[in-house]
Amino acid sequence: MRGCKANDWPSESPGLRPVGEKGRPDGAARPGRRESPRRDSWRAGQTLTVPAEALRVLLVGSGRMGSAMLRGWLGQSITDPAAITVVEPDEDRRNQAGSAHGVPVSPVVPAAWSGDAVVFAVKPQILDQVLPAYRSHCAASCAVSIAAGKDLRTLAHGVGDTVPIVRAMPNLPASVGQGVSVAVPNDHVDAGIRERASQLLGAVGAVHWIEDETLMDAVTALSGSGPAYVFLLTEAMAKAGERAGLPSGLSRSLARETVAGAAALMAATDDDPAQLRADVTSPGGTTEAALRVLMDDERWASRVDRAVAAAAARSRELAAVRED
């Protein structure tokens, strides 16, 4: 067992703003959201005992995605609250992590930390400023970044050229443990670190590894932005239901529950979506009548193609701007 006094840390470090001006609680439980088991609050100054086998993680940023990962790590018991340290300047979010999850928190970069992984979950716009303060922390562990559009070269520039780095792209359903992440390693990532990153990312959904970083723009366009495409389809279905005579509330519920149910069905089977579609399409039936309209002259498919291509192009543009 290791002892760790998590907030014995120096004052302000580069890249950190003064704390607590913003008053945004981290949100109460939403229906369907998986909560980690209730734990005792962590109190400032409290020394926690870290189980020797626990994965020790420094989480930088506890906003939407960082807090989702934190919930996943604890909910899946892949580590222990005492083994996680959260750095977060926003007082409400910091208190939320400390009180709801019992993890040590700090508004500033911990001076002395040693562990297994530093996970960066801050906005891409500030990442360059934040990274250098964590050089020594990453040197003896590894860095995992989920910042959109920040490539391995930029990350290495920030934390050090010899640091094992995993760049990952999760998506929004991670907040309910149903996300999908695509991860790409740099040359210093060995099998052990890959496994560690898989555990951390896998706590909030599926994980796919790629070796070619240039695919990240297409990944962003498909799984990163993809949830919005499904929300758009749901909106369109709800409006169409209303126009077909359903009361608005009923139509919206039916659209939402139909999309959620179809997604759950897809997740529960290995059948291809095309096969599932064929299974519900009886010759001469209602579904066939609708699909004939939707699939008429390929406009539907080509519009999806163009949408994904536009998102990938925008991802490349944003990455180029961030490189400037």
Chain residues that interact with ligand NAP, rule: CB under 6 A:
15-16, 22, 60-66, 87-90, 93, 121-124, 126, 130, 146-148, 169-172, 224
Strand partners, 181: 207
> DSSP label at 55?
P
The answer to whether 189 touches 142, Cβ cutoff 8 Å, is yes
Cβ of residue 61: shortest distance to ligand NAP, in angstroms? 3
Q: Which is nearer to ligand NAP, 186 or 223 (CB)?
A: 223
Strands 57-60 and 117-120: parallel
Name the residue with the smallest CB distance to ligand NAP.
63
Q: Give the closest residue to 62 by CA, choosing from 28, 103, 30, 29.
A: 103
**Cα 224 from chain centroid?**
9
The answer to whether 193 touches 178, Cβ cutoff 8 Å, is no
Q: Which is nearer to ligand NAP, 291 or 318 (CB)?
A: 318
Residue 200, phi then psi, degrees to nearest 5: -65, -45
Q: Give the closest residue to 262 by CA, choosing from 233, 304, 296.
A: 233
For residue 63, the tally of other CB atoms under 10 A from its CB is 15
Q: Which is nearer to ligand NAP, 150 or 196 (CB)?
A: 150
The token pair that represents 37 in the structure block: 């088991």
Q: What Rg, from alpha-carbon coordinates, does the chain have?
A: 22
Cβ of residue 51: shortest distance to ligand NAP, in angstroms? 25
What strands, in cross-sheet order, belong to the sheet with 84-87? Answer: 105-106, 84-87, 57-60, 117-120, 143-145, 165-169, 179-185, 205-209
Residue 250, phi then psi, degrees to nearest 5: -65, -40
Cβ of residue 66: shortest distance to ligand NAP, in angstroms? 6
Cβ of residue 299: shortest distance to ligand NAP, in angstroms? 29
CA dist 25 and 42 (Å) reads 17
Q: Which helix (H) or strand (E) holds 240?
A: helix 226-243
Q: Which is nearer to ligand NAP, 41 or 129 (CB)?
A: 129
Cβ of residue 25: shortest distance to ligand NAP, in angstroms? 12
Cβ of residue 181: shortest distance to ligand NAP, in angstroms? 8
Cβ of residue 167: shortest distance to ligand NAP, in angstroms? 11
Q: Which is nearer to ligand NAP, 59 or 189 (CB)?
A: 59
Q: Which is nearer to ligand NAP, 123 or 303 (CB)?
A: 123
Cβ of residue 254: shortest distance to ligand NAP, in angstroms? 26
Coil, helix or strand for 11? Answer: coil
